[in-house]
Amino acid sequence: METKTAPVGNFLWHDQGKQPKINIVNPQDFSTPEIIKEILGKGLVPNSFGLINYQEIQSRNELSRLFLENPEIREKINAWKRMSDRFEHLPNSENNFLYVYGQEENPYWAMVKAIIKEFDRPDTPQRLKDLIEDLKSSLALEQEEKSLAARISQKLQNVTRMEGVLEIKPFADRDKDTDEKFIVGQKAYSAAWSSGYAVTLPKWTKNFFCRITGIKSLVKSYLSTKVRIKSYRSAAILHFPSSLHNDLLRGIRDLVRPPAIKDPGGFPENPEPARLAKKANDLIKNFCQMLKGRDDLILTVTFDYGESGLTAKVIGLKKKVEEPNFNFALSDFDGYTVKEKRKAEQIAKSIAEKKRVSLEMMGSLAIYDQLNKYFSLFTKTFTLPSTETDNEFKWYALSNLYNSKENRKIYNRLQTQRRFLSEVMDQLNNLCQVVEMFINKADALQIPVCVPEIRNDGRIGISFNGLAPINMMGQGKEMIPFDLPTINGQMICLTGRHGGGKSVTGKSVIESTFLAQSGLPVFADNFSLDVKTVLGSVTNDEGEGSTATVFVNKVKNLLSEIQKVPKEKSLVFVDEIGKGTQELAGFTLGKMILNTLKGKQYSVIFNTQIMALAEYAEVNLNAICLKVDKDH
């Protein structure tokens, strides 16, 4: 199986696009669940709720159930998501490169193997099994990446070579002049340029004559060589790099810092070792304090930067002194020729210079001995950190090396694989956040939550226990879960006082069905259904015209739509039958509507305050009549 080479789209939450979804009849009477509005900001596809595709709903439910029942998996996915973000691109800086390739096992591939181990089992949802197969096939890239890193590491070591001698003032205050006195040595630069130069050819070389005669190829070769030479020349080191100077200065400063006082141990009855150790540390500390701010002390350092990093050895120390007095005037040499006077002047200057050198040496002897005694400064070759120098002369080359001819193909495959996994982990983490949102809502409102069972075995109907009235969500009121008989081709009539929860109950069943057919959890102890293709709702609150006229038009629209599908594929909620008319007229209208619905054997939930209509439905239409009170 080949590694994914293109973005995965929505791997876990397929957008159904133009495929059929639930037909919502009278959508103005349908309240989008509050939880759906919150989910839209979590990265799930907005247009994919309310499906009629059993396979898609079932695939989503498998994922929702896995994450709802396994909080430890949600935590792992969150951690993997953060790691995949970090490793979405191959290392492009020193720290990342050394971190990823300096370990025994590449942390990115360790994460991939951990994901495979977590989900490579029989009860894993099919979409995660598909992911695992893709990840297994990608493991072949691990060794190729290892080889890529080895090639690049080798070339990075040979990018630049510099060596020489430098005079520095390591003890001077930072705000004072610490520039080098002189530099002697050789500097070599070998740039790791990409072999694939994009040369812009003149338009005249693209005609037919130039192509067949080889002129185009000749011009391209000439320009490529010219660009390459120009690139090397532009990279040449013409001045001593400040990055190298800073690394040397910082490294030498660190070599002569006072050490931390260590406890020499010993026994309480013999405190002498501790006393001597403290005395020695105090001597070093006082010596270092004396050096602080001394801009008259100059160290001569030899350095080498290349394959082994930055090494340096201190080979000399001098104490800068004022120039000795040089009192010489030609008038003191009357009778001398001009040539003789010039010779005498040179001798006088030589004497003054020897005197100055001697004073410099004598002034530094004591400090030299102490530096050697306390820090072995003049007897060792030190390896110094070279962060600034590496950034300028080594790690800059990473992008060129990745895109070199020998590396470009595997680099692109690795980048594609990382983008694929990063996108998948984003989707997994988004789905985990959605599931956690349901859990947090349930905890805050003290209501149950579960993943619904979507049936496809010939059993028809909607059944549930402890369903929360989610139509009340966001109102700040107590939400008391309720039960209803299985809704399967019969009528359920709800009665009770005005404002007692009849409408909330009916709407909550409709909205929970919509959640269930979106592949999401529902707020219930348990919830099962076969797939519905039509959800119809009729209320009196929305529409233009008189209440009765609006109601009748909505009922007409409802009947027109539900007759287009098999009776078991719809669920209907009719709110407040007979509202807005005299009771007798409402009773007559209600009988007509209910008789029509019963004759077609539709699944119907309705409520009414006309008790005669409820009794009629119970006696003549075999309706189940339930009275809603504060405890449901």
Residue 542 has pLDDT above 80, yes or no: no
Distance CA 162, CA 384 (A): 14
Residue 229 confidence (pLDDT) above 70: no
Residue 256: per-residue pLDDT:
86
Q: Which residue has the higher pLDDT, 265 or 208?
A: 208
Measuring CA to CA, which residue among 453, 511, 517, 572 is closest to residue 49? 517
Burial level of 275, CB count in 10 A (0-12/13-18/19+)?
Answer: exposed
Phi, psi torsion values for 229, nearest 5 degrees: -60, -45
Q: What tokens does 523 get?
A: 């707020």
- How confident is the model over 408-442, as pLDDT tens digits? 899 999 999 999 999 999 999 999 999 999 999 99
Confidence at residue 232, expressed as pLDDT on a 0 to 100 scale: 47
Which of 135-139, 169-173, 327-331 reaches the highest mean pLDDT? 135-139
Instruction: Give the rounded percent of residues in the chain with a pLDDT score beyond 90.
Output: 41
Q: Taking the C-alpha atoms of 204, 207, 209 and 214 in order, what is their torsion angle to the nearest 10 degrees?
A: 80
Q: What pLDDT band is residue 147 in, cutting at 50, 70 and 90?
A: very high
Lowest mean pLDDT among 78-92, 213-227, 383-397, 492-506: 213-227
Q: What is the mean pLDDT of residues 223-229?
A: 65
191 contacts 159 by C-beta, under 8 angstroms: yes
Higher pLDDT, 67 or 14: 67
pLDDT at 41 exceeding the cut of 80:
no
Q: How many CB atoms lie within 10 A of CB 240?
A: 17
User: What's the pLDDT band for 110 if we cut at 50, 70, 90?
Assistant: very high
Is residue 282's pLDDT more than 70? yes
- Name the pTM for this structure: 0.69
Name the band, by pLDDT with cuts 50, 70 and 90, for residue 10.
Answer: confident
Higher pLDDT, 594 or 39: 594
Confidence of residue 74 (pLDDT cuts 50, 70, 90): very high
Residue 566 has pLDDT above 60, yes or no: yes
Q: Which whole number is the average pLDDT over 318-334?
A: 65
Please choose, from the candidates 542, 622, 534, 546, the residue with its C-alpha nearest in 3D space to the C-alpha of residue 589: 546
Q: How far apart are CA 147 and CA 152, in angstroms?
A: 9
pLDDT by residue (tens digit) across 15-34?
656 667 899 999 888 888 88
Give DSSP secondary structure letters for 539-568.
-SSSSSS-HHHHHHHHHHHHHHHHTTS-GG
Higher pLDDT pick, 209 / 520: 520
| Cα→Cα distances 140→105, 427, 492, Å | 15, 24, 60
